[in-house]
Amino acid sequence: MTNAPSQTWLNPTAADAKSAERAFSRSVVVSGVRCSLTYVLIPFVFPLLGFGTGAGPLIGIPVGIVAIAANIASIRRFRRSMHRWRRPMITINAAIIVLLVILVTVDFTQVL
Banded model confidence at residue 6, pLDDT cuts 50, 70, 90: very low
Quick: pLDDT tens for 8-22.
444 556 677 788 788
What would the DSSP string read from start to end of 48-104? HHT--TTHHHHHHHHHHHHHHHHHHHHHHHHHHS--TTHHHHHHHHHHHHHHHHHHH
Residue 73's domain spans which residues?
14-111
* Residue 29 maps to a domain: yes
* Residue 1 maps to a domain: no
* Residue 33 maps to a domain: yes
- Between CA 53 and CA 65 the distance in angstroms is 21
Number of domains in the chain: 1
Banded model confidence at residue 1, pLDDT cuts 50, 70, 90: very low
Quick: pLDDT tens for 20-45.
788 888 888 888 887 787 777 777 77
* Residue 3 maps to a domain: no
The DSSP call for residue 9 is T
- Between CA 76 and CA 83 the distance in angstroms is 12
- Between CA 83 and CA 58 the distance in angstroms is 37
* Residue 59 maps to a domain: yes
Average pLDDT estimate for 2-9: 48
* Terminal C-alpha separation, the chain: 63
The predicted pLDDT at position 94 comes to: 94
